[in-house]
Amino acid sequence: MADPKKEIYKKQARTVIKNLRRRNIEGIYCKDKYVAITTICKMIPKGSVVGLGGSTTIVESGLVDALRNLDIELLDRYKEGIPSAEIFKMRKRGLTADVFIASSNAVTHDGKLVNEDGLGNRVSSIIFGPEKVILMVGMNKLVPTVEAGIKRIKTIAAPLNSIRFGVDTPCSNTGICDEDNCLPPTRICNQLTIIEANAVAERISVILVGEDMGF
């Protein structure tokens, strides 16, 4: 018998892809991370400069490892032992890369992308700069509305990232967002973006993966 969760993901993806298309955003459904990695690698032209956004999804899925084997210039911020000054330079170069790869904190059923950054380089690159943006998104990040997407960021993504980064925020200490008492420099929720559509057709591709991935 087919896995009911996978069946639901497949059905939900049909609706989301249709709604993304109305917003000039391409949606592609892949049944698992292996198919997604192959699909993404095929989308990247040889010789491209490829930037990476901060994302657990692209690292833990094995996508970054696969990209390392392509004939491209990968701005590999995840390379072992890379100095933070170098990572900062890569973030800046990512703004004008040929291809930018990241995930999205949430995708709404009606096809909007909801993201929040600490520095802003990921959301900037998604909005403008790179000619192609590829977002690898586990189906666990689907939400019914923009409000639910923001809630997902404040209750799941940001607290888990706060703990992962080891920053002293209310959510890393209690597991609960306390936005009024969360201030820089430790606060990681700084630039909230809602992408409702894209002017350039298919500049952004959302690769929906039929499994739970990332934060």
Question: Could you list the residues that contact ligand SF4 (CB under 6 A)?
Answer: 154, 158-159, 162, 169-171, 177-179, 182, 187-189
Nearer of residues 112 and 187 to ligand SF4, judged by Cβ: 187
Pick between residue 54 and residue 170 the one whose CB is nearest to ligand SF4.
170
| Residue 46 DSSP class | T
Give the separation between CA 102 and CA 91, rounded to whole angstroms: 12
Q: Closest separation between CB of residue 164 and ligand SF4, Å?
A: 12
- The Cα-based distances of 10 to 2, 3, 126, 138, 208 in angstroms read 11, 11, 25, 12, 9
Neighbour count for residue 88 (Cβ, 10 Å):
13
* 155 vs 148: CA distance, rounded Å: 10
Q: How far is the CB of 116 from ligand SF4 (least distance, A)?
A: 8
Tell me the helix, strand and coil percentages in the chain, rounded to 5.
40, 20, 40
What's the min distance (Å) between Cβ of 159 and ligand SF4? Answer: 6
Comparing CB distances to ligand SF4, the nearer of 48 and 172 is 172
> What minimum distance in Å lies between the beta carbon of 7 and ligand SF4?
33
Query: In terms of CB distance, is 132 or 154 closer to ligand SF4?
Result: 154
